[in-house]
Structure 1
Amino acid sequence: MEPTADLELDSILRVSKDNIVITDGQGRVLKASPNCKSIYGKDVSELIGKSVFDLEREQVFSPSVTTRVLKEKRDIQLMQKTPTGRTVMATGYPIFNQEREIIRVISFSHDLTELESIKEDYENLRARMKLYETEIEELRDKEIKIENFVIRSKPMIRVWKLVKNVAKSDATVVLLGESGVGKTMIAHFIHHESERRGGPLIEVNCGAIPESLFESEMFGYESGSFTGANKQGKPGLIELADQGTLFLDELGELPLSVQAKLLKVLQEKQVARIGGVRPRTINFRLVVSTNRDLEEMVKKGLFRKDLYYRLMVVPIAVPSLKERKEDILLLIQYFLKHYNEKYHKNICFDSMTVDELVEYDWPGNVRELENLVERLVITAENRCILPSQLPFDIQFRHLKDMKFDDEGWGIPGQTMKDQVGEVERKWLRQAAKNCKSTYEMAKYLGISQTSVVRKLKKWKIEL
């Protein structure tokens, strides 16, 4: 080799980031990079003249890529673990003479220790993420206590703690709140968490039983008590709740004539059937719910004061959905998953659709939200539900402050075209506020992007 070529080779060995080892056809080391010490734990002087077969037995090269090249007479690539604790990817190339004999083997060793460390960190991170996911799932399991009931908001967490504490007792519970907030589900939870879980849960909708039949349904009757009565008689709903829980839903609809008898039953724990003379001793726990203001009803003479105070042992006010906005997203996710599984679908909500649902006031509360999600899943023509597919009252909630005349026909003096234009302007302003581009606006509004551009120009609205 000429001096200039030798100098160039030494320079390559010195500046190369990879470790380079050159051997002859018998595997004896002729040259090596100076970084051998840091990678293999040996100085260049300790390698020159040594056989790679010996160095492999000494586990300096473990395994040796050069020995494999010499045996198989082809390019070889393999991973090495070095005495210095490094992970190395070694690649060996044979150099042949005209007789196809190997006269040199050049190997390049690339230090992958840093990459291995990154990989290890990544695996550790994945393991930690898996742990966090498990913990999140456990927390999620704790959030959903009973069917259709999800909790995250502070108001509901306070309610739930009270419900869990009172469930273990035998105290009378009065659940107060708007229709659809989940009072019935809480009543069911109280029963199933109580000592009476093995007994019956008798649910009575006080607003669904005609007043003329209420007394016989509640207290029962003996045979022959009245025309059309069952010949064997019939136990009342209160009697059926013996050793269990009696849940009176819509208590505010309870007729005054029945209120006095109910008070007597609560005081004496006995019930007498219509036409009977012998009262039966009944042991039950009472849970009631109402969406009416019982205190105001007492003032108006519509509800007995003595019954009111008898019932108000543990009153629990369940907040409306608009008072616990944090729960809406969880409820959407929960109901969407539930009805996708029920109807074997894979429907999703666009992010802007979710925003619209979260901002809506939900006068029908959880029941309204659940019904809407079920309807959207059933009727969806496309996989993703856009804002334009939501009901009118949700889409146009931003227009609730518009003024109308006495007949509800919009602002006096305006034509239908004017009013439609006002609606269109409101929609465009809202979309421009929430979106970053005309393409996003088109998706938000459920129209084409060209229509968006034209309408923005028409109404002189800037994005």
Structure 2
Amino acid sequence: MVSMGTKDNAKKKENPLLSAAGKEKLAESLIEILEGSFDGILVTDKEGKVLFVNDSYERVAEIKRSDIEGKYMKDLINPVWMPNSVAYIVAEQKTTVSKRQVVKSGRHIMVTGRPIFDEDGEIKIIVINARDITEIYELTEELQRSRNSEKLYMERMTDFSSMSDTERPIIAVSKSMRDILTLAKKVADFQITVLILGESGVGKEEIARFIHNNGARRDKPFITINCGAIPDNLLESELFGYEKGAFTGAMQTGKTGLLEAADGGTVFLDEIGETPLDFQVKLLRFLETKEVRKLGSVHSRHIDVRVLAATNRNLEQMIEDGQFREDLYFRLNVVQLEVPPLRERKEDILPLAMYFLSKFNRMYGQEKVLTYEVEQEMENEEWKGNVRELKNIMENMVIVSNNEYLQVEDLPWVTGQRRRAGEPSLAVKMVANLDLTLEAATEELEKIMLHRYIKEGKTTRDIAEALGVNQSTVVRKMQKYNLKRE
């Protein structure tokens, strides 16, 4: 009874396709089975003559079926859509071979050829399988880029973490910035005026400081004068100084001007395009004679100072418009350095971000880390505020984010878009706050508006024009609220 049960079970387990009728049915369905394969299938004989091609092969390999059926693979090889055939490698090596190929559209496919042998050990047919691996290939490439980025990130973070807070390196990975630093270093030892051009926030002052630090005056004073932040009526007295009683409100002891204070060193005249025409005449005379005469004095003093100047304005257009003296332009423009905006030197974005991240981590006792997704978002940003904006963004994320690994949602422009989409603005909230007095509300609004223009890199002259007030009013308000342009 046991043996009979075993036979019955064996009959039940017998594969119906192994029966004679099943094999005949399987043979009839073989073409349908091959055509049903999602992978491309091509079959050749041992000589490489194509015996069969399914529809998927036409799709995956991007070769028309009618172009290869019945032909020899050697006749089909060409540098455009079939630079090589795995069939001949299989026939030669008599083993399974896999190769990655790139088809006409640029997609990546994996082609695997496997030999089928007869009873004498000779190749009877070669079955070739073609599979689209474009997505896998791209993921592999992205993973490799991510690993390389992580390796570079760790190397740079190690370098930056060893810097002291007083060090101010210029990050120059892009060719354009390296070229600028090369020229800046070349002119550093020549006591000539240099005009540095570029949008607001690109780092013109850092280039000026680089020139000073690489020249013979490196141990002497480096004084930055923001011409746009000083009211027109005070510009001359600030730069040249004044004697006691020179004008109403003057200090009784008089005052040494910034140019004289920089004697032996370097003066950086930032926003030179903001100076009024009457002052430009006096500045030109100083550049030609290197003599300063205080307001209210009849005596001049010769000083040894190097002058570097910078502006984000088009001085040539200002000359045409009568807003800037042509002779002063030529006197300043002995050597010109134009710093490109950050969006045109994307290679510098991540190194700069890592430098600022390391700096603010030390400053605020944090250990924040950039993620790959944030790095990609930062590289795709336009950075209208350039390096200054990038610096502010990094400081914001280090302070505000609760994530150790910074996420895309930590980027201020992402949270800002969300706020604009559904939340009332700060100004609306402020007005709605009944606890504020009218005076307090006015002060808060003034601070918001001034901070907005300062963040955009506008000068005090521009801010005054936009707000419809005097430049001196803007300067006074900035001092009142302790707002400073970077």
Q: What is the deviation of 1:145?
A: 12
Aligned to 1:273: 294
Query: For 2:317, what is the secondary structure of its paired residue?
Result: helix
Who is 1:233 aligned against? 254
d(CA) in 2 for partners of 1:182, 1:145 = 17
Could you report, residue by residue, the CA deviation over 1:291-334 in whole angstroms, capped at 9, with x for unpaired residues? Answer: 11111111111000010011100110001100100011111111
Do the aligned partners of 2:374 and 2:408 also contact (CA within 8 Å) in 1?
yes
What SS does structure 2 have at the residue aligned with 1:232?
coil
Q: Which residue of 1 aligns with 2:273?
A: 252
Is 1:175 matched up with 2:215? Answer: no
Give, in angstroms, the shift of residue 243 of structure 1: 1.1
Tell me, what secondary structure is at the counterpart of 1:266? helix
Q: Please tell me whether residue 383 in structure 1 is matched to residue 391 in structure 2.
A: no
- Runs of 5+ consecutive residues of structure 2 not aligned to the other structure: 1-153, 419-486
Q: Secondary structure at the match of 1:388?
A: helix
Aligned length: 265
Q: How does 1:45-64 map to 2 (within 5 A)?
A: none
In structure 1, what is the Cα distance between the partners aligned to 2:160 and 2:186?
19
Output the CA distance in 2 between the equivalents of 1:223 and 1:135: 53
Which among 413, 419, 427 is matched to residue 392 of structure 1? Answer: 413
Is the alpha carbon distance of 1:394 and 1:179 closer, same or farther for their aligned partners in structure 2, counting shifts above 3 Å? farther
Question: Which position in structure 1 is the counterpart of 2:215?
Answer: 194
Structure 1 CA distance for aligned equivalents of residues 270 and 290 of structure 2:
20
- Relative to structure 1, the CA distance from residue 339 to residue 137 in structure 2 (aligned partners, 3 Å threshold; closer, same or farther) is closer
Aligned AA (1:151) = A
Distance change in 2, residues 1:167/1:141 (3 Å): farther
1:364 to partner: Cα distance: 0.5
Secondary structure of the 1:207 match is helix
Aligned to 2:390: 369
Q: 1:212 aligns with which of 211, 229, 233?
A: 233
RMSD: 2.9
The CA deviation at 1:171 is: 1.1
**Residue by residue, what CA displacement relative to the aligned partner does 1:112-149 show, whole Å, maximum 9, x if unpaired?**
xxxxxxxxxxxxxxxxxxxxx9999899999x996252
Residue 257 to residue 141, structure 1, CA distance change in 2 (3 Å) = farther
The residue number in structure 1 matching 2:244 is 223
Structure 1 runs of 4+ aligned residues shifted over 2 Å read: 133-142, 391-397
Structure 2 CA distance for partners of 1:141 and 1:165, relative to 1, 3 Å: farther
Q: 1:284 to 1:162 in 2, by over 3 A?
A: same
Query: Are the structure 2 counterparts of residues 138 and 396 from structure 1 closer, same or farther at C-alpha, using a change threshold of 3 Å?
Result: closer
Task: Select which of 299, 306, 310 maps to 2:320.
Answer: 299
Which letter maps to 1:149?
I
> Alpha carbons of 1:135 and 1:265: their partners in 2 closer, same or farther (altered >3 Å)?
closer
Of 146, 153, 158, 2:179 maps to 158
- Residue of structure 2 in register with 1:414 after alignment: none
1:36-51 equivalent positions in 2, closer than 5 A? none
CA-to-partner distance for each residue in 1:273-303, whole Å, 9 max, x for gaps? Answer: 1111111111110001111111111111100
Change (3 A) 1:139 1:362: closer
How far apart, CA to CA, are the structure 1 residues paired with 2:341 and 2:376?
19
Sequence identity of aligned pairs in percent? 46
C-alpha distance in structure 1 between counterparts of 2:343 and 2:331, whole Å = 31
Aligned to 1:441: none
Taking the aligned partners of 2:202 and 2:373, their CA distance within structure 1 comes to 25
The 1:141–1:267 alpha-carbon spacing in structure 2 relative to 1, beyond 3 Å, is farther
**Larger Rg belongs to:** 1
For the 8 Å contact 1:360–1:394, the answer to whether it is kept is no
The structure 1 residue matched to 2:355, chosen from 334, 352, 369, is: 334
Are 1:360 and 2:381 matched, yes or no? yes
Code of the aligned partner of 1:199: K
Which segments of 5 or more consecutive residues in structure 1 lack a partner in the other structure?
A: 1-132, 398-463
The more displaced of 226-235 and 204-213 is 226-235
Q: 2:392 and 2:156 mapped to 1: Cα distance?
A: 31
Please tell me the residue identity of whatever aligns with 1:375: N
Equivalent in the alignment of 2:21: none
Task: Verify the 8 A CA contact 1:164 1:190 in the aligned structure 2.
Answer: yes
Equivalent runs, 1:71-86 vs 2, <5 Å? none
Letter in 2 for 1:179: S
Q: 2:148 maps to what in 1?
A: none
The Cα offsets for residues 207-229 of structure 1, whole Å up to 9 and x where unpaired, read as: 11111111111111112212222
**Cα distance in 2 for residues equivalent to 1:237 and 1:217:** 6
The residue matched to 2:172 in structure 1 has which SS?
A: coil
Contact 1:146 / 1:185 at 8 angstroms: preserved in 2?
Answer: no
Counterpart CA distance in 2 for 1:136 and 1:241 is: 36
Which letter maps to 1:321? L
Q: How many Å separate the matches in 2 of 1:230 and 1:313?
A: 37
Q: Structure 2: how far apart are the matches of 1:238 and 1:324?
A: 35
**Alignment correspondent of 2:285:** 264
Matched with 1:322 is 343
Instruction: Single out whichever of 334-343 and 288-297 deviates more from structure 2.
Output: 334-343
Q: Which residue identity does 1:163 align to in structure 2?
A: A
The amino acid of 1:340's aligned partner reads N
